[in-house]
Structure 1
Amino acid sequence: MPRRCLLTLSAAAAVALALAGCAPTASTDVAAATNHAVTDASGTATVFISGDTNVQSLWTDAIIPAFEKANPGASVTTTLDLHGEHDAQTMAKLTSSVQAKEDPGFDLIDSGFIQAAGKAGLLEDVSADNIPNLATVPDTTVKAGAGFGIPYRASSVLLAYDSDKVKTPPTTLDELLKWITANPGQFTYNSPSTGGSGAAFVTTVLDKYVSDKSRTAMTTGYDQSLEGEWDKGFDELKSLGSSMYQQGVYPNGNNQVLELLGTGAIEMAPVWSDQVITAQKTGTLPSNIKYAQISNPSFTGSASYLGIPKTAAHKDVAQKLSDYVLSSEGQALIASTIAGYPVISLDNVPADLKDKFASADPSTLRPTYYSQMASDMNNLWDAKVPGQ
C-alpha cells in the first residue's frame, strides 16, 4: 500500500481499503472497450480449483449456474484440491500431459501455480483475440498475467480484531509484533501451506528483513540463493510461538482462523478480505470483528489468475467461460458472492459496484512470492517455526 491507512470499516469501506490506492488506471482504449456477456458457448468443461472452499462455492454456486443459464448448450464441472495441498502433483500431471500432447483432465485452472505453469510453457496464450473481455481489464493487470494468465478477481489480507477488546489496534507490522508478545494467546495464523492469510503474515514478517531488490526477484522468479535473507524473519516467527494461541500449534486453513475469531477464542488474526466480509454478510462472523490494513510493510494481496492448459480438450468452452467471468455480470457475481474486487475497468461494472470499488486498484497491492519461492517458504516454515 502506498500510504498508511487505518479505518473502522463497513463492508463497503473495507473493499476500498483493502486495495487502497488510487482508482484503477485504465488506458483510454481500455475504458472505451465494450464489455459483453457470453451467450453462444456449447460443450463441456472442467475447472480445476486449488484453494479454499469459498472459491469452490464461488464457482459452483454462482459463476457456473449463471454461465450455464446464459449458455444453455454448455455444462461445467469442478474438481477441488483443498488448500492446494497437491499442487506439486498437479503440476507434474500437467507437465506430463502437455509433453505427451494429452488432455490433463481439466480445461481451466484457478490456482496459485498459474505463473509457474505459464513460464514452463504449459498454458495457452491468451489475449483479447480469444478472451475479448480482456480488452476491458487495465493494462497493468493484464501484463502481470504475462500472456497466459487471465485475471478474474482480486483480494488482499487484512488484520481482523475484536473491537470489544482491542480499542487501539496496531497500524504497522512492528506494532503488531509488539502487540502479539504483549497479549499471549490472543493471536494466531494458519500454517502458510494451508491458506493465504497465514502465508501473507509469514511473508510480511520475512519481508521485514528482505532487501527491495531481492523481494522483486522473489516475486517474479525463482532464486533459491536469496532465501538466506529469510533467516532473521524465521527467527522472529519462531520467537512468537510462545505467544500464539495454543503454543506451537497452528490452525489448518483460513476458515479455522475465522472460527477462532468468531467464537472469541482469539482477539486478532490476519484474514482474507473477501472471506471476512462474506462471513459478516452471512452472519457467521459477529459485527464486533473489525478489520484494517497495516503498513511498513502491508500484508500481501493481488489479482488471481486463471489458466488454460495447452492440451485441454475443451479450450473453446474454457475461453468462453473465462470471458464470461470478465463480463460485467461475472464481475458482479464475484463481488456479491465472495466480496472479490473487480479487475475490469470500473467503466464496465454496474453503477453500484463502481461507487463501492472507486478506490480499488489491484496494481497497488504488494504481490506474493513466486510460486516456487512460496513453496520453499512453506517448507522452511514447517521445519523452523512450529513446536517449542
Structure 2
Amino acid sequence: MKKALKKLMGLAGVAALAGSLATATVSAQEKTTVTLWTGGSDNVRMVFEELEKAFDNSSYGELYDLEVEFILSGSGAQGLRDRLVAATLAGETGTNYDIIELGADDIPSYTTDMTVDEMFVPVDTALVPNLERVDAQVAENAEYLAPYRGTTVVLAYDEERVENVPTTADELYTWIKENPGRFAYNTPGSGGAGSSFVVTAVYNFLDEAALTSSDEANMEQWDQGFALLEELHPFLYQSGGSTVYPNKNQGTLDLLIDQQVDMIPAWADMAISQINQGILPETTKIAQIDPGFTGSLNAFAIPTIGSNVEGAHAVMDFMLTDEAQQILLDNMAAIPLVDSSSFDSPNSSLLEGLDVTNFRRSSLGELGGLLNERWDNEIGTLQ
C-alpha cells in the first residue's frame, strides 16, 4: 500500500509539472533536448548513463530528451567550472549548459567574477514539486540549488583487527590514543573524508545549527576543536618517525587496504563501492559514531546561458522520484533525500547499521575553506 501511495504521489508530481509547463506547448513528437553536465570517476559516469535512460523512459521523457555530458576526472580535460565560467564571461547564450551538477557549497567558486544572478537561474519550486519531499538544507544560495543526493563519512575498519569499534566521538578519540599509529585521516583540503573528521572534531563543541551556517562569528568557537586535533596528532599514522596525513580520500583507503592502519574516516559510498569491487577486503566494515561525522549534499543548478530552463526543472524533479533515488542508492550507495523506508537495495547489507535518517549534514559555505586554511597552518605544520 505504501509503495502504491508513493507511486501515485510521484505520478501526481509529474502531472503537476506537466500542467505547469503547459505554456511550453511541447508535444511528444516535438521533444526538446535538455543537457546535463557533470563529472567524476567512471562509476559515476555509469550511474548517470542509467539515470539518463530512466528519465527518457519515464513520463518526463515524453516532453524532453535528456543528454548527459560527462567530464571524466583525471582525463586532463578542462573542468566544468572553468568551461561554464569562461562561456558566461564571454557572453555566450543559448548554449547546451542547461543544468549542471555541483556540490551544495560550490556556488562561490563559480561566482568570483560575477554575481550569482549572472551565473545561475533561481529554481522555480512550482516546477519541481518533488522538492517538497526533501528534508535537506544548504547554508548559502539555497534558492539556486535543488539537492538530490547525499553521502556521509563513516568509520571504515577491518573487523579482523578491530575488536571494540567506537560508537561515539569520545570513544573514537580514546581508541586513537590507545592504538597509536593505527588511525589516519587525509588532509582536509585534499578530500571530504579528512575534512569531515576535522569539521566534526571542531563543531562538536558548537551548537548543531552551526553545521549549516556560514556565520563568521562561529570561527571564534573553533579553539577547543583545534586543541583536540593537536592532542590527537602524535597518535596518528606515522612514517619515518613523523605523523603523516595522506593525500586525498583514496590515500587513507590505500593505507587500510595495505593494513598499515586499522581504521579511517571514509565516504560511505566510496567504501561500499570498493568493497563491492574487491578493492577493499571483505572484512572491511563501516560504522557510525554519535555525534556522527558530517556529510555533504550534491545538487543541480541552472546556468543562465542554457537554452532549456523548463527541461532543466523537469530533470531536477525526476531526480527526486523514487525511481531515480533507488538508482542512486543501488549503484553508488548515495543516501536518499526522500523517504526511503520502502526501498530494497543490494547495498542494504553493507548499509546495515548505518541509519540514513540520522544523516548529519554540513554546509559551511566559505567557512569551510577558512577552516582548512587554519588546519594547514596549525595542524599540518606540527612535527
Normalization by structure 1: what TM-score?
Answer: 0.73
Give the letter for the 1:194 counterpart: S
User: Are residues 1:221 and 2:214 paired?
Assistant: yes
Moved more, 111-120 or 241-250: 111-120
Matched residue count: 346
User: Superposed, which structure 2 residues align to 1:1-388 within 5 Å?
Assistant: 32-34=9-11, 42-49=32-39, 53=41, 56-57=44-45, 59-67=47-55, 71=61, 73-79=65-71, 90=81, 94=85, 97=88, 106=97, 107-114=99-106, 120-121=116-117, 122-135=119-132, 137-138=133-134, 140-141=135-136, 146-210=142-206, 212=207, 216-217=209-210, 219-223=212-216, 225-246=217-238, 247-295=242-290, 297-346=291-340, 352-353=344-345, 364-387=358-381, 388=383
Give the letter for the 1:164 counterpart: E
Percent identity reads 27
Cα gap change, 1:234/1:316 in structure 2, threshold over 3 Å: closer, same or farther?
A: same
Superposed displacement of residue 369, structure 1: 3.7
Contact 2:138 2:212 in 1 (8 A): no
Cα gap change, 1:123/1:62 in structure 2, threshold over 3 Å: closer, same or farther?
A: same
Contact 2:94 2:306 in 1 (8 A): yes
Contact 1:155 1:341 in 2 (8 A): yes
Distance in 2 (alpha carbons) for counterparts of 1:115 and 1:183? 40
Cα gap change, 1:124/1:255 in structure 2, threshold over 3 Å: closer, same or farther?
A: same
SS of the residue 1:193 aligns to: coil
Distance in 1 (alpha carbons) for counterparts of 2:124 and 2:339? 16
Superposed displacement of residue 323, structure 1: 2.9
Cα gap change, 1:32/1:360 in structure 2, threshold over 3 Å: closer, same or farther?
A: farther
Superposed displacement of residue 193, structure 1: 1.9
Give the letter for the 1:221 counterpart: S
Superposed displacement of residue 360, structure 1: 8.5
Superposed displacement of residue 289, structure 1: 1.4
Contact 2:47 2:332 in 1 (8 A): no
Contact 1:68 1:76 in 2 (8 A): no
Moved more, 311-320 or 91-100: 91-100
Distance in 2 (alpha carbons) for counterparts of 1:372 and 1:143? 12
Cα gap change, 1:143/1:192 in structure 2, threshold over 3 Å: closer, same or farther?
A: closer
Cα gap change, 1:378/1:300 in structure 2, threshold over 3 Å: closer, same or farther?
A: same
Superposed displacement of residue 190, structure 1: 1.5
Superposed displacement of residue 47, structure 1: 1.4
For 1:25, the equivalent position in structure 2 comes to: none
Distance in 2 (alpha carbons) for counterparts of 1:188 and 1:57? 29
Give the letter for the 2:212 counterpart: T
Give the letter for the 1:205 counterpart: A
Cα gap change, 1:29/1:281 in structure 2, threshold over 3 Å: closer, same or farther?
A: closer
Superposed displacement of residue 199, structure 1: 1.1
Superposed displacement of residue 206, structure 1: 0.7
Contact 1:97 1:103 in 2 (8 A): no
Superposed displacement of residue 236, structure 1: 2.5
Task: Provide Cα deviations, 1:253-286, integer angstroms capped at 9, x if missing partner.
Answer: 2223222222322100111122222222222222
Gaps of 5+ in 1: 1-27
Distance in 1 (alpha carbons) for counterparts of 2:120 and 2:316? 14
Gaps of 5+ in 2: 19-26
Superposed displacement of residue 306, structure 1: 1.9
Distance in 2 (alpha carbons) for counterparts of 1:55 and 1:45? 20
Cα gap change, 1:337/1:147 in structure 2, threshold over 3 Å: closer, same or farther?
A: same
SS of the residue 2:226 aligns to: helix
Task: Provide Cα deviations, 1:3-34, integer angstroms capped at 9, x if missing partner.
Answer: xxxxxxxxxxxxxxxxxxxxxxxxx9999453
Contact 1:154 1:362 in 2 (8 A): no
Superposed displacement of residue 103, structure 1: 7.1
Task: Provide Cα deviations, 1:312-338, integer angstroms capped at 9, x if missing partner.
Answer: 344344333323322332212101111
SS of the residue 1:370 aligns to: coil
Higher relative contact order (CA 8 A, sep 6+): 1
Distance in 2 (alpha carbons) for counterparts of 1:95 and 1:110? 17
Give the letter for the 2:213 counterpart: T
Distance in 2 (alpha carbons) for counterparts of 1:289 and 1:175? 20
Contact 1:187 1:266 in 2 (8 A): yes
Superposed displacement of residue 44, structure 1: 5.0
Cα gap change, 1:232/1:156 in structure 2, threshold over 3 Å: closer, same or farther?
A: same
Moved more, 264-273 or 104-113: 104-113
CA-based RMSD of the aligned residues comes to 4.1
Distance in 2 (alpha carbons) for counterparts of 1:252 and 1:65? 36
